Amino acid sequence: MSDIRYGGQVYQASLGENVLDVLIRNKVNVPYSCRKGVCMSCISRLDEGRPSPQSQDNLKTTLIEQNYFLACKATVTGNMTIAAPDDATLYSRARVKSIEKLSGEVTRLVLQPATPLYYHAGQYVTLRRPDGLARSYSLASVPFLDTALEFHIRHMPDGLMSNWIAKDLKEGDTLDFQGPTGNCFYVSDDPHKPILLIGTGTGLAPLFGILRDALFSGHKGDIRLYHGSRLDVGLYLKKRLFEIADQYRNFWYQPCVSSGVAPSECKSGRAADLALEDLEDLSGWSVYLCGDPGMVKDTQRKAYLAGAATRDIHSDAFEYRNMRENKSDPYPNDRRKR
């Protein structure tokens, strides 16, 4: 057995056990969400002990040098002393500039960062509520076009963060965020390369940034965007995207609905299936897949089989909170806010 020290307490753990599991099992109020090393919510610092290599996979060198690691990807390697992250190292502050509904279930949140953020359109940041709850959201803004950071957030009725953003967050409030992170962004190495963008739900957010980045950077190759939603009401940027399609001859927009009757301008079916039916040969294409993790995983494989090179398939899977066997709510006080 090994000793895991956190916040002045000592917990017993077996060698090889997952560090986040140990903390959750002992009811430590540690932030976490996806448990797959994507959302970065559980980033912590190791003051004593050795971080397992995979627990530092996606971290910047500066953070690795300070012994930061992701608890969800770490295994117990011996006695460990873990500290909560240092706010000044990891987090920046932003003010809510505006917050409005884009549709019944999607909120457009615009944040003005206290200091300029250097990012690529399509990357994501992790927003942190004052009580520590953290979730990742993709940037829909483009650094050289927009002065503020834009997010499209789908309201999950029982979702802790999205419910709070939709109902409690107000203009002028402040939020902390970590990032940017992620490799799903426009690569301008070949302006003639055709680009296929497939997104479901608010998976449109990063694609909207990537699309505008490519168009305003003078991309010459075809750009095809398939946006999928269960119902027409979920196609929350339809009007704006048809306007952009009217402006740019190399951009096509295809809204898709997977349930119910499709309006005349939409196709009926799943966005990824429809895209791959229309474009059977993807050799030489750049492919961007964002949104539902199942769609992203499945379409990565299909795009590869259709000829897209692995290096040209970019993705941003919206991994959501994975509660596994632990059904307890790590933020029980939030219930009053629902």
Ligand X SMILES: Cc1cc2nc3c(=O)[nH]c(=O)nc-3n(C[C@H](O)[C@H](O)[C@H](O)COP(=O)(O)OP(=O)(O)OC[C@H]3O[C@@H](n4cnc5c(N)ncnc54)[C@H](O)[C@@H]3O)c2cc1C
Contact call for residues 228 and 270 (beta carbons, < 8 A): yes
Q: Which of 70, 99, 161, 195 binds ligand X (CB under 6 A)?
A: 161
Q: Scanning the structure block, which residue is given the tokens 């873990």?
A: 82
Given the rule CB under 6 A, which of 130-138, 171-179, 211-219, 259-267 is the region that contacts ligand X?
130-138
- Which tokens is 37 given? 């090393």
273/316 with CB nearer ligand X: 316
Q: Cβ 200 to ligand X, closest distance in Å?
A: 9
For ligand X, the closer CB: 68 or 208: 208
In this complex, which beta carbon is closest to ligand X, that of residue 21 or of residue 316?
316
Comparing C-alpha atoms, which of 330, 296, 121, 84 is closest to residue 210? 121
Q: Give min distance, CB of 24 to ligand X, in A.
A: 14
Per CB under 6 A, does 159 bind ligand X? yes
Within 56-85, the residues that bind ligand X by CB under 6 A are none
Show Cβ contacts of residue 51 under 8 Å, excluding neighbours closer than 6 positions.
Answer: 67, 69, 74, 77
Long-range contacts: 320-329, Cβ < 8 Å, 24+?
Answer: 320/33, 320/34, 320/293, 321/32, 321/33, 321/34, 321/135, 321/160, 322/33, 322/34, 322/35, 322/36, 324/35, 326/24, 326/25, 328/27, 329/160
233 binds ligand X (CB under 6 A): no
319-338: which residues touch ligand X (CB under 6 A)? Answer: 319-321, 323
Single-letter code of the amino acid located at 270: R
CB of 304 to ligand X, least distance (A): 21
Q: State the nearest-atom distance from the C-beta of 145 to ligand X, in Å.
A: 18
Q: Is residue 124 within the footprint of ligand X (CB under 6 A)?
A: yes
Containing 251, the helix (H) or strand (E) segment is strand 251-257
Q: Which of 154, 219, 224, 238 binds ligand X (CB under 6 A)?
A: 154
**Would you count residue 162 as binding ligand X (CB under 6 A)?**
yes
Site for ligand X in 173-232 (CB under 6 A): 202, 205
18 sits near ligand X (criterion: CB under 6 A): no
Find, among 62, 79, 88, 58, the residue nearest to 70 by Cα. 58
* Amino acid present at 8: G
Cα distance between residue 92 and residue 85, in whole Å: 13
Return residues touching ligand X (CB under 6 A).
34, 38-39, 124, 135-138, 151-154, 156, 158-163, 202, 205, 316, 318-321, 323
